[in-house]
Amino acid sequence: MPSAQGCSRAEGVKTQQEGHMSDLKQQEIASMKNALQATAKRLHAIESRSDVEQIAAEVLRLNDAVRAGANGRLHYGDHPQDFAQALLFHSDATNGKSSE
């Protein structure tokens, strides 16, 4: 049975890891926020009225979700015109065509 000291050490390591991940995530969000602010101002000649930090976090979240969904299904070297074929190949019966 682990000692109370061992548990607190393990919890401390876990807390440090979570803190590091949180710091890394905050750095990524800050970088994306800066990019979005610069892009919006340059392309649209206005500053965004939306919370840019929230948009940055959502862009990163969606990018991670797409990468996770494509992992093992799409190869980085695939040509963009092959994307529709890949979607059909990996689709399930729920997304099939109706027999109208």
Give how many domains the chain has, as a whole number: 1
Domain assignment present for residue 98? The answer is no
Is 78 domain-assigned? yes
Among 16-20, 80-84, 96-100, top mean pLDDT goes to 80-84
pLDDT of residue 1: 47
Q: Does residue 86 lie within any of the structural domains?
A: yes
State how far the Cα of 75 lies from the Cα of 71, in Å rounded to an integer: 8
Domain coverage including residue 48:
4-92
- Does the pLDDT of residue 4 top 60, yes or no? no
Domain membership of residue 99 (yes or no) is: no
pTM: 0.57
- Please check whether residue 49 lies inside any domain of the structure: yes
Token pair 């061992």 in the structure block, residue: 6
Is residue 53 in a domain?
yes
Tell me which of 18-22, 30-34, 91-95 is least confident: 18-22
Distance separating alpha carbons of residues 82 and 3, to the nearest angstrom: 57
Identify which of 91, 85, 94, 93 has the alpha carbon closest to the alpha carbon of residue 69.
91
